[in-house]
Each structure stands twice: as C-alpha cells, then as structure tokens.
C-alpha cells in the first residue's frame, strides 16, 4: 500500500475495485466502514455483488476482465471535465500529454459496451473520484489475476496521477496483500528479478555488492518465475525446493501442475502438513508453525513486525530458516551458521536499503513501516509524498484487451474465482481449526437464480462445470450476488478442485495467472 491502514479512515471518495475486502481483509474493511460513517462516498467495481457493494454509494457491476475499459473511460471523463490536477501533472509526472490525448478515444458509451456498466454510472464514478479532495484506490487480486494485471494496475496509477490523489493523507494506490508475509517474502529477495530490498539482479553494481557479501557471483540474468519454472520442470529444471506452499491446489491448471512436479528428479517440500503437494515429494521436512517460532513478517502497509514463539513445535519440527540453512551447510555453502532467527533478520537488514535502519530489537513494537534507510529514520508510513521512487510518475498508454479466453458456444458462462471469509487458501489451516466447518462446510457454485432456472439447475443440487482443461462437480447455490451469466466459486476445497479449470492465460510481465476469468460450461450433474 502506498498509504498506511490508518489512512483508510480519511478519504472523501473511496474507489474499491477487485477487492472483496469484507471477506478477505475484514479488519481493513472496518476502517473503510468508519470512513463511510464519517461521510465518505464509496464506489465499488466488481463483477459480483459482494459485501462491500452493499455498503457502496455507487456500485459498478463490471463484466469480468473489463477493468481497463472502465478505467480508460473514467480517465476520459476526468480529462474531458477538466478535473486533472495541472500543478501535480507539471511538477510530479511525465508523458501526461500523450496519455490525455490517448484517453479522448474512450468515452463512457464505449466502455459500456465492454463492461456492461451504464455510461452514466461510469461518468458519476469519474466525477466523484476526480472532484474529491482525497480520493483513495483499494484493490486486490481482482485487479492482478488477469492477463492484463499490469495494465490494470497501471490504469489505476494513471487515475491517481491525473488527479494528484497520491502522496497525501487519505489518498494513494493501495493493494491489499493476501498472505501474512507475502510482502516480507518479496522484501527478503525471494524474487527472480530482485535481491533483498528490491535491488535488481540485472544491475552489475548489485551483482558486485552481493558477490562481496555472499562470496559468489550471481547471474546478471533474471531467473524464471515460478510459473515458467513449472513449465520447465522435468526438462531444464530437475529439482525444486517448495517451502510452505500447496502448489498443487492453489495454482491454476492443477493437472499441469501435478505433471510438472512429478516430472522432477528431486522435490523437497517443507510444510506443516502432508499437503497434496508434499505427497509428491522425495523429502518432506516438518516446519515449525506460526506460534512456534520467532521471526519477522511485514504487512500490507509495509509494517515490519515480530512474531513470537508461544509453544514448542511438535515432534522434531524445526523453523523453516533452520531447515534451509542445514541443507545449505550440507552442500558445503558458507554463511549459513546462524544461532537464531535474530541473526538472519539482522543480516537481511544489513543488505537491504529499505530495512537498513532496522534490526531485531528496533522492531520489537512494530512501529516501523519501510523504507527505513538509516538508523534513527522514523520509517515511511506514506510513500511518494515528495517524489516517486523513479523521480516522476510516468503515465502509461494502455489499450483494452479481451481476457485470454472469452465465452463461446462451448463455454458460454464466465467463471470467476476468489476467497470466502471463513476459509483461507487451500484450507490447510482453516480446515483444521475447530468450528470453521460450521460456517463453511463445503464449496458451492454461486449462480444467479434466473440462471439456475434457465440452465435446468436447482438450488442445492449438483452441477457439472467444465473448461477446456477439466471438469468439476459442484453444489449449486442460487444467489443474486452473482450477476446473470457469471458464476463464482473459491478454490479452497480439495474435493472441489476449481483450479482444475483455470489457467487459460498469464500476465506476460508478472506471470500471474488469469484466475479471475475462465469461460466454462455449467450443466446439471
């Protein structure tokens, strides 16, 4: 997030797009509810009539995968109505002229054809956001899990830049991170393109710096992403270490994923449970869980916080970092002799410009949000206050593209996937917590009542849902949360493996799968 969570109580106009916040980030949503109570207006764009939509002043029911069209048209209106912030454009951005010329082609009437949202509502949304003193954007995977995920994010960036809704209290572009430490994993350098602290591996200076630190030169070329690595599995890639991810159930195109992992000569899985992924491993190593190990995790607002051990791990289970360091030592690698998590974290701080002012003791109370470039620095709750990391904010000229697969006679229904309040990812944790089944005993396919009737289904009956990649049988739930022609399911339940169906395409830049769009056929089972 560019702005702190506390800022969620401050906007005049909230624009939430592709975020089912009341279910996936419920505590963050309480802050938006407080802003609404204070008088803020909220625009919610989502294909489904989610809980947040019920709270919205303006709900934009967009067709799945049509976000760019909506955002281009909003930019068009903001430009046409003279709501751009000329001072901000002049002082803080570049290439605005090209962008402002580009958006003239995309009036709301054009976007209505693609998004299904009435032109006048697109107009209203643009006017509210454009006229706001403090406009803030919130998004989650509904924006990124598309073949045009990067285009979506940059389109939101364009809106914030043209209106100057960035770098101030109650504004910003705020992605909500979905996993407790997904931010920290990237911060720590577990990325194919960056060393710790987002230092590009392609920069020879960084290569030298880390050669000095690690005693070995690392390639100047970026590594493949996980998605690519799975495609290379059994061919160029022969061994994998997977730490704490149930790849088989959480990734798109399950059959492809299983084939890939089975094709490896050697698979090491570190996990808490015998997951579907661990079952394929040659070596399974038991990790200490949350509550059993000391460490650090970084939240969605870049707040670096300590987690602490409350109980001992069961049996022989050990902290992940210890397991990895033991493997490294057995391979004869130097620099893996850490007495405890503290020393690992302190080394991370010493090599990372964004954590450089931090250490284990300093973050005891979780007061710091990165970047913290030197000791004594108070941290940075709000990014881009005076300038952007790259100097000036760059407008991107973006065109609308259809999803990788669009509905056809064979697959006439849009499936979109997501999460539910009471379950988390593949249920390795929530599925083993007492009582959760009371709230969510099984997966269901959410279908509009008219479609239930039109397709010969029944509420509570079974449907067979298929895509070009596979087929699942799933119980039907009639609900007006789904629009006509679009159905929804989560991928949480292994016995309803919805990710057998998904995986039609990937964003060319991030390799994030288009999990939010998958044309399917739904028939009574």
Which residue in the set 184, 393, 483, 485 belongs to the binding site for another protein (CB under 8 A)?
184
Contacting another protein within 420-439 (CB under 8 A): 421-422, 424, 428-436, 438-439
Query: How far is CA 18 from each of CA 1, 44, 88, 203, 475, rounded to the nearest angstrom?
Result: 15, 8, 27, 34, 25
**Least spacing, CB of residue 14 vs another protein, in Å:** 13
Which one of 126, 156, 160, 348 is in contact with another protein (CB under 8 A)? 348
Any idea of the CA torsion for 344, 346, 350, 351, to the nearest 10 degrees?
A: 30
Q: Which of residues 81-140 bind another protein (CB under 8 A)?
A: none
Task: Check residue 24 for interaction with another protein (CB under 8 A).
Answer: yes
Q: Shortest gap between Cβ of 370 and another protein (angstroms)?
A: 11
Residue 238 contacts by C-beta under 8 Å, 6 or more apart in sequence? 264, 265, 266
Site map for another protein, 203-242, x if CB under 8 A? -------x---xxxxxx-xxxxxxx-x--x---xxxxxxx
3-state secondary structure of 438: helix
Under DSSP, the state recorded for 48 is S
Cβ nearer to another protein, comparing 109 with 265: 265
Helix, strand or coil for residue 6? helix
Q: What backbone phi and psi angles, to 5 degrees, belong to 369?
A: -115, 130
Distance CA(451)–CA(483), nearest Å, equals 9
Does the protein bind another protein through residue 37 (CB under 8 A)? yes
Could you say which of 178, 373, 461, 505 contacts another protein (CB under 8 A)?
178
460: left (phi over 0), alpha (psi -120 to 50) or beta: left
Residue whose tokens read 């403090």: 134
Contact stretch for another protein (CB under 8 A) within 82-90, 119-127, 362-370, 468-476: 362-370
Residue (115 or 423) nearer to another protein, CB: 423
Closest CB 211 distance from another protein, rounded Å: 9
Please report how close the Cβ of residue 155 comes to another protein at its closest, in angstroms: 20
**Contacts (CB under 8 A) with another protein, residues 303-322:** 303, 305-312, 314-321
Within 365-424, the residues that bind another protein by CB under 8 A are 365-367, 421-422, 424
Q: Closer CB to another protein, residue 94 or residue 318?
A: 318
Q: Closest separation between CB of residue 359 and another protein, Å?
A: 13
CB 74 within 8 A of CB 400: no
State which of residues 271, 276, 405, 451 lies at the interface with another protein (CB under 8 A). 271
The token pair at 490 is: 């989560």
Q: Which of 474, 484, 489 lies closest to 525, judged by CA?
A: 474
């Amino acid at each position: 997030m560019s702005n702190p969570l506390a800022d969620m109580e401050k906007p005049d106009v909230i624009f939430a797009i592709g975020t089912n916040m009341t279910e996936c980030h419920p505590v963050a949503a309480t802050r938006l509810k407080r802003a609404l109570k204070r008088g803020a207006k909220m625009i919610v764009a989502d294909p489904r009539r989610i809980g947040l939509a019920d709270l919205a002043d303006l709900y934009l029911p967009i067709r799945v995968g049509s976000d760019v069209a909506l955002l281009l048209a909003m930019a068009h209106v903001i430009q046409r109505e003279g709501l751009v912030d000329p001072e901000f454009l002049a002082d803080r951005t570049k290439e605005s002229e090209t962008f402002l010329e580009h958006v003239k082609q995309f009036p709301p009437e054009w976007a209505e054809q693609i998004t299904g949202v009435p032109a006048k509502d697109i107009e209203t949304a643009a006017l509210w956001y454009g006229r706001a003193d403090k406009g803030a954007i919130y998004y989650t995977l509904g924006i990124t899990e598309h073949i045009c995920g990067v285009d979506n994010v940059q389109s939101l960036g364009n809106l914030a830049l043209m209106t100057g809704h960035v770098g101030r209290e109650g504004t910003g572009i705020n992605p909500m991170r979905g996993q407790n430490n997904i931010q920290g994993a990237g911060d720590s350098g577990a990325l194919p393109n960056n060393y710790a602290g987002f230092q590009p591996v392609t920069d020879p200076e960084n290569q030298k710096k880390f050669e000095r630190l690690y005693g070995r030169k690392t390639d100047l070329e970026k590594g493949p992403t996980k998605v690519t690595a799975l495609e290379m599995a059994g061919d160029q890639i022969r061994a994998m270490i997977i730490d704490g991810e149930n790849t088989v159930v959480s990734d798109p195109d399950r059959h492809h994923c299983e084939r890939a992992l089975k094709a490896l000569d050697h698979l090491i899985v570190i996990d808490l449970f015998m997951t579907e992924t661990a079952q394929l491993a040659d070596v399974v190593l038991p990790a200490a869980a949350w509550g059993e190990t000391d460490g650090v995790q970084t939240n969605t607002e870049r707040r670096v916080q300590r987690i602490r051990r409350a109980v001992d791990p069961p049996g022989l289970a050990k902290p992940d970092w210890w397991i990895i360091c033991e493997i490294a030592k057995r391979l004869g690698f130097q620099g893996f002799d850490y007495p405890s998590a503290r020393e690992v974290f302190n080394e991370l701080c010493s090599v990372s410009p964004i954590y450089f002012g931090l250490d284990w003791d300093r973050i005891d109370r979780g007061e710091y949000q990165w970047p913290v470039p030197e000791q004594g620095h108070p941290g940075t709750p709000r990014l881009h206050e005076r300038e952007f990391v790259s100097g000036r904010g760059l407008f991107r000229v973006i065109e609308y593209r259809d999803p990788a697969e669009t509905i056809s006679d064979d697959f006439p229904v849009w499936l979109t996937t997501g999460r539910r309040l009471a379950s988390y990812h593949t249920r390795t944790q929530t599925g083993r917590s007492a009582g959760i089944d009371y709230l969510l005993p099984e997966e269901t396919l959410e279908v509009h009542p008219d479609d239930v009737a039109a397709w010969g289904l029944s509420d509570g009956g079974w449907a067979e849902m298929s895509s070009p990649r596979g087929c699942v049988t799933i119980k039907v739930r009639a609900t007006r949360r789904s629009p006509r022609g679009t159905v929804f399911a989560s991928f949480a339940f292994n016995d309803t493996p919805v990710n057998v169906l998904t995986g039609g395409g990937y964003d060319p830049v991030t390799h994030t799968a288009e999990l939010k769009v998958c044309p399917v056929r739904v028939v009574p089972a």
